[in-house]
Chains A and B, each alone.
Chain A
Amino acid sequence: MMDRKLIQDIVNLLEQGKAFVLATIVRTRGSTPREVGTSAIILPDGRILGTLGGGCAEAEIRQRALEVLRKREPELFRLDLTADVAEGEGMVCGGIMDVFLEPMGG
């Protein structure tokens, strides 16, 4: 859902000319921590405004987002939470999440 706070943050960052990545969950399959339409901002220092569900999934998205920020190319990133590895790392959701990562501002 469109979150007023997040939109305010986006406007502020754009006005200040700061670079950041807008991450949005655009497709899910199975059980995932947050629903389609959830967005968060990843700052160059790795801080996150908003939440994509926390935990390892969010950590992986953050890492990928920082790469997107370097490449300056939007990317559709598939996060598979069903793999054995994910379970081993404590990701218990067991779904697949497509996250659109978009470099903005700066």
Chain B
Amino acid sequence: MAILLAFYRALQQALEENRAAVAARILQVSPELRGFLQPGARKLYCFSGPGVGELGDKETEEIIASQAEEVLKARKPQLVHVPLGKGWVDVFLEPVLPEPHLLILGGGHVGQKVATLAKEVGYRVTVVDDRPEFANRQLFPQADEVICESFASALDKILIDPSTYIVIVTRGHRHDYYCLRRVISSPAAYIGMIGSSRKVKGIMEGLAAEGVPRERLARVHAPIGLDIGAETPAEIAVSILAEIIQVYRQGEQVKSG
């Protein structure tokens, strides 16, 4: 009883604080495992802190932990059948999905339009730029947070979790490179970077040479945005938001090439 209440309060708190989590619940257990695994046992997997509750078996908890990340990506509940020794256990996983948090790195023309559109769509928006004339409330009246600091120190402070969508649109190649390198191993739902195909290729090759794994590079959306022939900052912002909405609603598409 007390355990159940603690679980649901933690779940409620995760929702209120917009933190991504996965609620796991045992549905069925084969007879030989019923000694230590019970239907109804629950665990809340949190990505920015310790979990709450337990399933009753460390091995099961670890298997489910790896499934939990997939459930968050797919954004859909999933019933998982886990063979365990001579028996099995069925676990139901439900994603706790916070509102998307858009992290815009770069307060230039494109960043400004992305911020405006993202608020219109209803997302939480954080803007970072190291130039006071760009990172200010006059340019970003609706943003939830405007941080005027170096990208390095801002990225030290900002929590990046599976509900974070990162848009890299700084003023130059060097900052884009730095920001991408900093976030490429994060659990962000989306990472997009602006730039011509040639610039993107150069940055990717640079990161590959630094030892960033290919599969990490492959998940970067660059050039950023859906290919709709956008040219002006506002049009580019529409293509970026469209791409983010696609990832948010449909999950990461399998990219070819």
Q: Measuring CB to CB, which residues of chain A are less than 8 angstroms from any residue of chain B?
A: 1-2, 4, 7-8, 10-11, 14-15, 17, 24, 26-27, 36-37, 74, 76, 100, 102, 104-105
Instruction: Give me 18 A-to-B residue pairs in the complex whose CB atoms sit less than 8 angstroms apart, sorted by A's number.
Output: A1-B97, A2-B97, A7-B15, A10-B8, A11-B5, A11-B8, A14-B4, A26-B79, A27-B79, A36-B76, A36-B77, A74-B39, A74-B40, A76-B28, A100-B27, A102-B40, A104-B4, A105-B1
Count of chain B residues with a beta carbon within 8 Å of a chain A beta carbon: 22
**9 smallest beta-carbon distances between A and B, as pairs:** A37-B77, A74-B39, A14-B5, A26-B92, A74-B40, A11-B8, A2-B96, A10-B8, A36-B77
The interface residues of chain B, by DSSP majority, are classed as: mixed
**Chain B: minimal CB distance from A57 (Å):** 19
**Chain B residues packing against A (C-beta within 8 Å):** 1, 4-5, 8-9, 11-12, 15, 23, 25, 27-28, 39-40, 76-77, 79, 92, 94-97
Other than A11-B9, A26-B27, give 10 A-B pairs with Cβ distance below 8 A: A2-B94, A4-B12, A4-B15, A11-B8, A14-B1, A36-B77, A37-B77, A100-B25, A100-B27, A100-B92
Residues of A within 8 A of B8 (CB): 7, 10-11, 14
Chain B positions within 8 Å of A104 at CB level = 4
Given A2-B95, A36-B76, A36-B77, residue A11 in contact with residue B12 (CB < 8 A)? yes
Q: What residues of chain A lie closer than 8 Å to B39, measured between beta carbons?
A: 74, 102
- When distances are taken between beta carbons in the complex, the residues of chain B under 8 Å from A26 are 27, 77, 79, 92
Chain A residues whose CB sits within 8 angstroms of the CB of B11 once the complex forms: 2, 7
Q: Distance (Å) between the CB of A48 and the closest chain B CB?
A: 19
Residues of B within 8 A of A15 (CB): 5
CB-based contact A7/B12 at 8 Å: yes
Q: Return A79 CB to nearest CB of chain B, in Å.
A: 15
Per the bound structure, the CA–CA distance linking A88 and B90 in Å amounts to 33
Q: Least Cβ distance of A3 to chain B in Å?
A: 10
A100 contacts across to B, CB distance below 8 A: 25, 27, 92
